Amino acid sequence: MTASQNAGKKVYIETFGCQMNKSDSEHMLGLLDEVGFSKTDDIKSADLMILNTCAIREGAEDKVYSYLGAWARYKQKRPGSLIAVGGCVAQDAGSQLIDRMPYVDLVFGTHNFHRLPELIEQVQDTGKPLVEIAQTLPDDLPDTPVVRLNDISAWVSIIYGCDYNCTYCIVPYVRGREKSRSIDSIVQEVSELTAINYKEVTLLGQNVTAYGHDLDPKINLGHLLRALGEIPNMGRIRFLTGHPRDLSIDIIDAVKEVPQACEYFHIPIQAGDNRTLRRMARGYNIDFYKRKVDEIRSRMPDAAITSDLIVGFPGETEEEFMNTIRLVEEIGFDACNTAAYSPRNHTPAANWPDQIPEFEKGERLRFLNAVVSEVSHKCNQRYLGTSQEILVEGKSGRSERLTGRTRTNKIVNFEGPDVLIGQLVNVSITAANPWALRGALKIEAELCH
């Protein structure tokens, strides 16, 4: 496929789900840019519409079908335009997507999106729908071009897939086994980002804390953080999301040692009850998790710790649910992503007989959210009167205020000139609510870098 063949053509992409999917979409745009497609935010003018899907929850999958129904009308109005579906739903459903939605032109999976230009060309040449799903990633992971949608903070995928088999999770089925990128290719990518003035990178993986165990020689995320810390003018470094079992002391020490590594740990616990954790096959118990929290807080008392929690897991009793509530209060999480259990195909828990009724899951979720919000509010109040280094990301919603994040990933809104967007500034914290902080710029010209 040559770029001239597609000159002037436009691609519209919609991304559901996690940061990994958002990062994959940026790479899809990069691949398509090289063959002449430019990105549009107006679906009506698109020659190629891509839906990058997520299968983590039942609702997310339903959303795919409802979006595609609407996209069929855009396709009708723009003859010659194509619809492509990628991501986790595509990986799982494959040709069923075309059986159910015959106007879909291309279905590709999570392991072969780097072949997108060739696949599109094949559809253009034959005029026939195409399904290509690979079961594993290629041995030599190609470095794909990228069109980044944010010019301050960048996603960098460092490991793909997951070797765990949590009994509720479809990720290992659709994303395969763990496969780390080489440290050299990551350092090179991050060096290039730093050279063009990116102020923050977030290292991504379904299990980012397992980074490097499959490389020869074996390394870990701590080695990578230290190597990134050596890059001249390196900005902030974050990482998301990991498994508690793989969060080693060496990784925690590296966060403490490397000045650019942010004191922010997202460590999904999923439940605060040992029997539930065992049935989820998480591979740790509450005491183990608390030790991880102690290991972080004994080294970095002000580090933020956030988590993921599922309520209404099959067989979860009221008492077990209350253990989760007690644990949230005891640990004092800075924030939690919460969800009601959603049965997924290909997972053992989906077939267990003791499913919790929807209304009960809803009640537990509402109660948990209220507790999480109260606990987060308390955490945020600790910031009152402190001075925080904020990376300014843009404007807050439709207001004139600026918005940015602390090193600990707290959102801070404050008055200031637009020229500060993309800069590190110091802000005094003046108010705290459960979700965000308010502040006052300390000295307008006091830029940290």
Between CA 409 and CA 403 the distance in angstroms is 12
Q: Quick one: CA dihedral 171, 210, 212, 407, positive or negative?
A: positive
Number of C-beta neighbours around residue 346 at 10 A: 12
Minimal distance in Å, beta carbon 152 to ligand SF4?
A: 28
Query: Which stretches of the chain bind ligand SF4, using CB under 6 A?
Result: 162, 164-166, 169, 171-172, 206-207, 243
Q: Which is nearer to ligand SF4, 46 or 162 (CB)?
A: 162
Closer to ligand SF4 at the Cβ: 95 or 165?
165
Residue 447 tokens read as 């830029």
Instruction: Judge contact between 93 and 64, C-beta under 8 A.
Output: no
Question: Is the CB of 130 or the CB of 350 nearer to ligand SF4?
Answer: 350
CB of 137 to ligand SF4, least distance (A): 16
36 within 8 A of 57, measured Cβ to Cβ: no
Q: How far is the CB of 247 from ligand SF4 (least distance, A)?
A: 12
> What's the min distance (Å) between Cβ of 314 and ligand SF4?
15
Least distance CB 319 / ligand SF4 (angstroms):
24
**Residue number with CB closer to ligand SF4 (310 or 390):** 310
Q: CA dist 286 to 143, 271, 276, 399, Å?
A: 39, 9, 10, 42
> Helix 116-126 crosses helix 19-34 at what angle (to 10 degrees)?
60
How far is the C-alpha of 203 from the C-alpha of 318, rounded, in Å? Answer: 37
Q: Which is nearer to ligand SF4, 177 or 326 (CB)?
A: 177
Query: Dihedral (C-alpha) 168, 171, 176, 178: value to the nearest 10 degrees?
Result: -100
Tokens 């004994």 label which residue? 298
Q: Nearest approach, Cβ of 163 to ligand SF4 (angstroms)?
A: 7
Which H helix or E strand runs over 260? none
Of 25 and 207, the one with the shorter C-beta distance to ligand SF4 is 207
DSSP letters along 31-50, please?
HHHHTT-EE-S-GGG-SEEE
Which of residues 177 and 256 has its CB atom nearest to ligand SF4 in the complex? 177
Compute the least distance from the CB of residue 270 to ligand SF4, in Å: 7
Residue closer to ligand SF4, measured from CB, 161 or 404: 161
Minimum distance of ligand SF4 from residue 442's CB (angstroms): 40
Our CA angle for 208, 52, 348, nearest 5°, is 60
Nearer to ligand SF4, 162 or 286 (CB): 162
Give the integer Cα–Cα distance in Å for 168 and 66. 25
Phi, psi of 341 (to 5 degrees): -55, 135
Cβ atoms 206, 175 nearer than 8 A: yes
Would you tell me how many other CB atoms lie within 10 Å of the CB of residue 357? 9
Minimum distance, C-beta of residue 313 to ligand SF4, in the bound complex (Å):
12
Q: For the chain, state the CA radius of gyration.
A: 23
